Amino acid sequence: MTSAIPKLTVYPRLSLLDGVTPIQRLTRLERESGGVRIHVKRDDLMGLGGGGNKLRKLEYLLGEAIAMGADTVITVGARQSNHARLTAAAAARAGMQCELVLTRSVQRSDAAYADNGNVLLDELLGAAIHDLSGADDPMDYALQRAAELKKNGRRVYVAPLGGSSPVGCLGYAACAAEIETQAFAMNLQFDEVVVPHGSGGTHAGLVAGFIAIGKTPAYVRAHAVLASEEKARAVSFEKSTAVLRLLGCDPVHTIAELNIDDSHLGSGYGVPTDSMRVALRSLARTEGLLLDPVYSGKAFAGLLDDIKNGRYRAGQNVLFVMTGGLPGLFAYRSAF
């Protein structure tokens, strides 16, 4: 069986992945799960730029940019943005110039956060970095910079925070079909798919993709790491509705049907929590797998908490999407 979404082929797409990413079962960690079967979708295992979920979005974003004749891509993010790193890598692969507008919006001033991790890789990948304070509007700066470059004859494409425009979200609509095909081949039926929720594109794309192949919106559970549940819900509803329209589907779901939890957000985006540290060490020491401290670490803490609190029954299958972000660990050295 293949779970295809035909309308996806209409949109320009730059190939950045080497094939499907594997699904693996966490058999050692399961010894403490009360019989819940835990699987991970390894979207951290992508060859380009250190891998991670943003590459799925960038396939469609840069596909659109190239179709428009762009020679330069500009995007925005926090100082340690995974999206910024992978935009720089994807632009290098495509032969495009890349500029990154990065804000110091996370209250960390240590040298590792300021200059190591993703920032180090941004520079190695050849991106021009614009360093803004947390009070500045990065998109406004990016648009002004794009206007300057256009006056000099450059053709500029501006990508949004996290790559999470409706076009970027198509990458995770395609991933929904990929997961369903893999599950059939493995003779599995997942009871829930679990993801981090930052800029909302991964969640919204999966929701739209699964709706397009007959699942409910609640099939995808998101753990918010950037904003409150209320704000995350509004973002995902708006974006999943837009993606469904791009896929030629009626957006029949309601905002109340979205499955989002913010109990592991802590005091804010990029701020470490004790539960994140426990979850990260637990997966590392049982399975040898590494989460990042900003996104997947908090979301995996949410998954472990849900298992502990009885959300899932013995024998049920849960799939956690590992979204990458490993370089962030080196920026958060002091947190560990």
- Residue 105 annotated among the catalytic residues of the structure: no
Taking residue 111's Cβ as centre, other Cβ atoms within 10 Å add up to 10
| Options 33, 81, 165, 296, the catalytic residue | 81
| Torsion 80-82-86-89 (CA) sign | positive
Q: Which residue has the tokens 């507008």?
A: 101
Find, among 324, 322, 329, the residue nearest to 303 by Cα.
322
**What's the token pair of residue 192?**
């829930």
- Catalytic residue positions? 81
